[in-house]
């Protein structure tokens, strides 16, 4: 089978096992550019896709390619744009190799997510202490261990760090990190191939599972059924189960009661966005990693103005570091204003809500009301997102302004729109239109 046909068949399988939106966002624009000695080099048009595919969808890509090639493959993601749609007679040289750290696909653990570089502060110290207890006594201290919180607060980092520490302390343990979505995709592929037993063996003979984003299970009855039995098998045999979600188990809609009960049967801990001291520590650590220094004034300014989550902080710091290196500087002593948004001082929260309501042809009372109409909920989510990102209001205040909603609802709205803004050009255009009015 030639490389073009192999990749076409692989993409067709991925189209079956992945949600349509996920496939279009993360797979449709990829291309297999090299396939030699069971090693596949997959080109992505930008760093974001390469990073997400490596971290989140590696196993999904690998399973589909393995099935189509009847081989056990290793994968590498590179950045190459534009990706040619013409037949490939010889592999084109990559424009830029993706430099993310290599990880062991058998465990799914990434070298950068360790305890050594996990910053501990008031927002996560309880979760960190619980993680240390699990490392000392896996399967007995807190089992299951359920960590929940908004996007970018460090949930993935913490549970992967647990995996690294367990692997160092107990090298013989069979440890596996995977997103719940990967579990579901592999189950669908196994059912399609009428090969369910190897799938069950793969997960039920592990000593520790680290499962990210279990909210993905919501509404997927058969996947929940299989995950329930996998969970029970491991838990009854004293194996460690660690889970994350963007909300606590009781607030995950369309999740079976028996799973909610199992998830809450151990220790449930939330991680909040970082406070000032923790943001300051993260900023200093990221800059020191690049062998640069930052003045106290510049560090303080950044910590005061980057207030949403760790992921945003890291992204902004990487941009600032790149600018500094371009200028051949070793010390960051000022922060370019154009890179960091500041609150709109002359705009009141009520006025922003009114502007959003008018933009979507609703009344202000509708935005702040209890209606669950789909179009109204979408407008309410965008309004919450703008109140947080443009006016830098606390979650509790945003919830109060939008009809007395609790902070978890506002976290969900913020994270949903943040994700869509980063992946959906139409959402970017929509929000930018509203910002221009503000």
Q: What distances in angstroms separate CA 406 from CA 275, 398, 436, one per listed residue? A: 20, 9, 29
Q: Regarding the domain delimited by 349-437, which CATH topology (the fold level of the hierarchy) does it fall under? A: Chromosomal Replication Initiator Protein Dnaa; Chain: A; (1.10.1750)
- CATH of region 125-270, choose from 3.40.50.970, 3.20.190.10, 3.40.50.300, 3.40.50.10420: 3.40.50.300
DSSP run (H or E) holding 38: none
Q: Quote the tokens at residue 167.
A: 């692997």
Q: Regarding the domain delimited by 276-339, which CATH topology (the fold level of the hierarchy) does it fall under? A: Helicase, Ruva Protein; domain 3 (1.10.8)
Q: Is the dihedral of CA 319, 320, 322, 326 positive or negative?
A: positive
Q: pLDDT truncated to tens, each residue of the chain (438 aa)?
A: 689 999 999 999 998 888 777 788 889 889 999 898 888 999 988 777 787 888 888 888 988 998 899 888 888 888 875 444 433 334 443 333 434 445 677 899 988 899 999 999 888 999 999 999 999 999 998 999 999 988 788 999 999 999 999 999 999 999 999 999 999 999 999 999 999 999 999 999 999 999 999 999 999 999 999 999 999 999 999 999 999 998 999 999 899 999 999 999 999 999 988 888 899 999 999 899 888 999 998 898 888 878 767 877 888 888 888 888 878 889 998 887 655 555 555 688 999 999 999 999 999 999 999 999 999 999 999 999 999 888 888 888 999 999 999 888 898 898 888 878 766 778 888 888 898 787
What residues pair up with 270 in beta bridges, in sequence order? 148
Report d(CA 113, CA 352) in Å as an integer: 39
CATH architecture, domain defined by 3-79: 2-Layer Sandwich (3.30)
String of b and e for 321-355 (b: at least 16 CB within 10 Å)? beebeeeeeeebeebeeeeeeeeeeeeebeebbeb
Q: Quote the tokens at residue 236.
A: 């009854």
Domain spans in the chain, listed from the N-terminal domain onward: 3-79, 125-270, 276-339, 349-437
């Amino acid at each position: 089978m030639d490389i073009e046909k192999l990749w076409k068949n692989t993409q067709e399988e991925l189209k079956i096992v992945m949600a349509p939106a996920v496939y279009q966002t993360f797979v449709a624009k990829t291309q297999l550019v090299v396939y030699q000695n069971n090693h596949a080099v997959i080109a992505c048009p930008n760093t974001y896709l390469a990073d997400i595919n490596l971290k989140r969808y590696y196993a999904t890509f690998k399973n589909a390619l393995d099935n189509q090639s009847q081989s056990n493959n290793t994968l590498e993601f590179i950045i190459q744009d534009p990706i040619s749609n013409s037949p490939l007679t010889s592999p084109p040289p990559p424009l830029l190799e993706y430099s993310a750290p290599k990880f062991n696909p058998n465990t799914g653990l990434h070298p950068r997510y360790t305890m050594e570089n996990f910053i501990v502060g008031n927002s996560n110290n309880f979760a960190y202490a619980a993680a240390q207890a699990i490392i000392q006594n896996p399967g007995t201290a807190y089992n299951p261990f359920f960590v929940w919180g908004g996007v970018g607060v460090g949930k993935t980092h913490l549970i992967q760090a647990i995996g690294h520490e367990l692997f160092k302390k107990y090298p013989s343990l069979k440890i596996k990190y995977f997103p719940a979505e990967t579990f579901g995709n592999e189950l669908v592929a196994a059912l399609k191939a009428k090969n369910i037993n190897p799938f069950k063996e793969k997960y039920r003979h592990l000593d520790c599972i680290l499962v990210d984003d279990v909210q993905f299970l919501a509404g997927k009855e058969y996947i929940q059924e299989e995950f329930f039995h996998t969970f029970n098998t491991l838990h009854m045999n004293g194996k460690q189960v660690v889970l994350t979600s963007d909300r606590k188990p009781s607030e995950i809609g369309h999740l079976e009661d028996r799973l909610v009960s199992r998830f809450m049967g151990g220790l449930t801990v939330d991680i909040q966005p970082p406070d000032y001291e923790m943001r300051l520590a993260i900023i200093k650590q990221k800059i020191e990693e690049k062998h640069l220094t930052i003045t106290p004034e510049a560090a303080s300014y950044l910590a005061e103005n980057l207030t949403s989550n760790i992921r945003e902080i890291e992204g902004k710091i990487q941009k600032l570091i790149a600018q500094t290196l371009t200028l051949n500087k070793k010390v960051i002593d000022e922060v370019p204003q154009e890179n960091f948004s500041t609150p709109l001082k002359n705009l009141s929260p009520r006025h922003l809500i009114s502007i959003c309501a008018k933009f979507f042809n609703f009344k202000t009372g509708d935005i702040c009301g209890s209606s669950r109409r789909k179009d109204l909920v979408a407008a309410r989510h965008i309004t919450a997102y703008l109140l947080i990102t443009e006016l830098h209001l606390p979650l509790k205040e945003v919830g109060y302004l939008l009809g007395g909603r609790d902070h978890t609802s506002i976290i969900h709205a913020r994270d949903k729109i943040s994700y869509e803004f980063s992946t959906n050009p139409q959402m970017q255009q929509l929000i930018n239109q509203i910002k221009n009015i503000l």
